[in-house]
Structure 1
Amino acid sequence: MQHYHISKHSSFYAVGLSYKKADAEIRGHFSLDEEGKEKLLKQAKEEGIDGLLVISTCNRTELYGFAQHPFQLIKLLCTHSKGTIEEFEQVSYVYKNKEAISHLFKVGTGLDSQILGDFEIISQVKQSFISARKFDIANPFLERLCNAVIQSSKRIKNETEISSGATSVAFASVQYILSRVPNVSEKNILLFGTGKIGRNTCENLIKHTKNDHIVLINRTKDKAEKIAGKFNLIVKDYAELQTEIRKADILIVATGAQNPTVSKELIYSDKNLLVLDLSIPKNVDSNVEELDNVTLVHLDQLSRITDETLERRKTFIPKAEAINEEVKAEFIQWLETRKFAPTIKALKKKLKSMKDAEIDFQRKKINDFDEKQAEIISNRIIQKITTQFANHLKDNATTPEESIALIQKVFQLENNS
């Protein structure tokens, strides 16, 4: 069971990098925004790649797809991101066929997340499949695989407590602020940008601090107003950013830009300012640390939560892995069946043409020939013969490739599988 062919010469690969070996800066180089993902999918389609998923979050960027060689996928990633092939080689991983399938199961079910049991990733997997379908680069293999991973994720969520207790980065941000800043409810808090973690942090801050004067600034004001209405925030114009930073005691940056949006030039530091950069790539220039009163904390530092919640979650890993193995086995079985489906189909077609010729011959030869009855009997025989062959191919004692070759030879079938 070495190859999962969609075409004769391609294998299924997972190529990518994650927080495990790549720091925030390197991950930033390979991060893809929506436009980048779309361009990559379009180019892959033009290059004849059949089936591709693109996942890019603050913790990882990965491509899953069919290629003759993994370098095809690596090249696509480096072309559409700011990363170089040299950088990629230092921190990356490449998995093939069965290992690539296992990796997607691990990632999609939160077992490979920076914070164990973080189920945010499964919505990224769903979204990446929707995009693949939109650009006509999704095939039945990918659809079935994504559905299997989603199914496993649901089961793990329902049957284990691997995601119990709060250990999200947003929660960690709030804990950090509460433990470092006295009288938070009276402080001026500014949220710059509408990134998801930033929004969640603000929502948690409102909940835990009763602070009712949090200011939100975003480049596009209508988006800011939509979010502000939901969380009861005050919206200010982008032009007022510098003024608002000067008033702030806490600045939370979640702009999702590809380059820093806040540098020391924007900050007038005559009082203490805590800056939380909740973005990948980093959106706050590290030069702000040169200012005496400024404390800069990045997402990566907040992600290192090793509290008892996390320790407790670890006890559910074996159960989660067992669920993954079970769902994955069903997927692999489907894959095996799919491998020989074209041969069975061709065999059926061949037997049917033999039957049609024979019935035609008998009709001319025999008076009162009961064609209807002959059809019923011969169709049933064909069904029984093809079922025998299908069962033989499913039997693990034989290698499907050899059996397929033999069936094709005996029945002179076109080698189109």
Structure 2
Amino acid sequence: MEYNTKSKTTYFYAIGLSYKKADADIRGHFSLDNDGKQLLYTQAKANGIDSLIVTSTCNRTELYGFAEHPYQLIKLLCENTKGTVEEFQEVAYIYKNKEAIAHMFKVGSGLDSQILGDFEIISQLKSSAKDSKKAGLLNSYLERLINAVIQASKRIKTETDISSGAASVSFASVHYILNNIEDISNRNILLFGTGKIGRNTCENLVKHTKNEHITLINRTKTKAQEIAGKFNLLVKDYANLQEEINASDVMIVATGAQNPTVDKFLIQTKKPLLILDLSIPRNVNHNVTELDNVTLIHLDDLSQITDETLEKRKAHIPIAEAILEEVKAEFNTWLETRKFAPTIKALKLKLTDFKNAELDTQRKKLSDFNEEQAELISNNIIQKITNHFAHHLREDGISTDESLELIKKVFQLEESTKHV
């Protein structure tokens, strides 16, 4: 899992923080929007990092990449967000090599999601990998790994029922609204912002409530109109935000702002108002709770719901974990092969040198030397020898590193570039 060049040895790391130890406020400090990601990519390249995947969702912010020391990745994250190294150390995790691989598999499979079996993260990982490739920051190792994680995720979806039933943050939002707001089909609902969870919540509300009083406001009106067309929503100008808030019974906030966009000073209505803040960082100022008529629910509160659907999902964890282990083992086998491939290649070149020297000697000795036959026989022998070495290195129960060192020593091999 080391990546060696002439100048440095780097290791594969996963560093980040998630809902498990970091609350919404802390996650907000480390949140990265698209501009932040682009700045991070540029800085990574300037710092000599050759491969990196960055994910930033409502539940986690993570960097997967190659570095000499994990602090290089931590520094990148902290310098491009509001978060500090001290905050990071309080709540973070750092995984190296095989542990980092295992972590990405667990995250991509939905087994590490805030709501078990919520597979939204795999599409975010795919998107992040595309961004990395576009930025020239996706080497063959990381590309192969992300494809293996995608494969595992697909198999878990099709071979288990871990994602059966509707259980996600958007489902939890609708579940909460339906259970806490009477006569929902006749209530005024306002969606502020076009974040994906907010859009999914709205789509589910349309489906389950038959409500025809859903209004959408977004800073960019054209984007709002595009989404409204899909879900049959009304669109109002951003300038009408305060008026629409005061006409609403339920408000869903899903903006991508780095600071709160809604506070108590926008609310003059005295009737009950339920606000769901589905944003990271939080986009609703906590001061709205000073108003007696306002109930504020954040996505971290929603994720605490446990219902029959989620309990049933837990029964499928062992099968999902078995699939993960199988695909992970295939990746690790590829990794081991990749680890010794340069040595086998160097061995083949050394044996070819022996062959060429011997053929030269025989040409001079024999007047009827059969060039074609000699080439064929010697090449077959070289292939058989290298195959035997490769088979030995693939076997379980042997120390690959020790075997590689012995082969290099015996044959006096030199490799120009090493992938260990």
Query: TM-score when scaled to structure 1?
Result: 0.96
Residue aligning to 1:23: 23
Distance apart, 1:355 and its partner CA: 2.0
Cα 1:208–1:396 change in 2 (3 A) is closer
SS in 1 for 2:136: coil
User: What is the rounded CA distance, in whole Å, between the counterparts of 2:42 and 2:343 in structure 1?
Assistant: 32
Q: Which residue of 2 aligns with 1:5?
A: 3
- Given that residues 269 and 294 in structure 1 are in contact (C-alpha distance below 8 angstroms), is that contact kept between their aligned partners in structure 2? no
Listed one character per residue, the Cα deviations across residues 48-74 of structure 1 (whole Å, up to 9, x for unaligned) are: 223211111100111111111111111
Cα distance between partner residues in 2 of 1:241 and 1:113: 33
Return the letter of the residue paired with 2:112.
D
Q: 1:120 and 1:107 mapped to 2: Cα distance?
A: 10
Does 2:112 correspond to 1:112? yes
Query: Which residue matches 1:403?
Result: 403
Q: Compare 37-46 and 86-95 and name the one that shifted more.
A: 37-46
Q: Deviations over 1:116-173 (max 9, x none)?
A: 0111111111112111211111111111111111111111111111111111111221
**Alignment match, 2:33:** 33
Contact preservation (8 Å) 1:167, 1:305? no
| Counterparts of 1:191 and 1:90, CA distance in 2 | 35
1:81-128 Cα shifts (integer Å, max 9, x gaps):
110011011111111111111111111101111100111111111112
1:203 and 1:28 mapped to 2: Cα distance? 26
Distance 1:35 1:352 in 2: 52
In the alignment, is the contact (CA less than 8 A) between 2:193 and 2:216 conserved in 1? yes
SS in structure 2 of the partner of residue 10 of structure 1: strand
Which residues of 2 match residues 256-405 of structure 1 at below 5 A? 256-405=256-405
SS of 1:367's equivalent?
A: coil
Residues 346, 413 of structure 1: 8 Å contact kept: yes
* Residues 53, 64 of structure 1: 8 Å contact kept: yes
The 3 A distance-change label for structure 1 pair 203 and 359 is same
What is residue 197 of structure 2 aligned with on the other side? 197
Match of 2:90 in 1: 90
CA distance in 2, matches of 1:278, 1:263: 15
Segment of structure 1 superposing worse, 360-369 or 248-257:
360-369
Residue 6 of structure 1, CA deviation: 5.0
How far residue 275 of structure 1 moved from its aligned partner, in angstroms, is 1.1
Superposition deviation, residue 363 in structure 1: 3.0
Residue in 2 aligned with 1:53?
53
Separation in structure 2 between the aligned mates of residue 222 and residue 201 of structure 1, nearest angstrom: 20
Deviations 1:221-253 (A, max 9, x none): 111111010001111111111121121121111
| Letter in structure 2 aligned against 1:134 | K
SS at match of 2:94: strand
1:389 deviates by 1.5
The residue number in structure 1 matching 2:64 is 64
Gaps of at least 5 residues in structure 2 are none
SS of the equivalent of 1:243 reads: helix
Q: 1:414 to 1:257 in 2, by over 3 A?
A: same
Please give the alpha-carbon distance, in whole angstroms, between the structure 1 residues aligned to 2:354 and 2:268.
87
What amino acid maps onto 2:200 in structure 1? N
Mapped partners of 1:74, 1:240: distance in 2? 41
Distance in 1 (alpha carbons) for counterparts of 2:20 and 2:99: 18
Corresponding residue of 1:165: 165
**How far is the alpha carbon of 1:367 from its aligned partner?**
2.2
What is the CA distance between 1:9 and its match in structure 2?
Answer: 2.1
With the length of structure 2 as denominator, give the TM-score of the two structures. Answer: 0.95
Identify which of structures 1 and 2 has the higher relative contact order when contacts are C-alpha pairs closer than 8 Å and 6+ apart. Answer: 2
* Percent identity of paired positions between Structure 1 and Structure 2: 69
Aligned residue pairs, count? 415
Measure how far apart 1:270 and its partner are.
2.5
Q: What is the identity, as a one-letter code, of the residue corresponding to 1:244?
A: E
Q: Is the 8 A contact 1:269 1:292 kept in 2?
A: no
- Give the counterpart letter for 1:376 in structure 2: L
Moved more, 123-132 or 353-362: 353-362
Per-residue CA deviation, residues 369-409 of structure 1 (Å, 9 max, x unaligned), is 22111111111111011112112222334322222222222
Equivalents in 1 of 2:342, 2:39: separation in Å? 33
Q: Tell me the distance in 1 between the aligned counterparts of 2:283 and 2:202.
A: 18
Letter in 1 for 2:242: Q
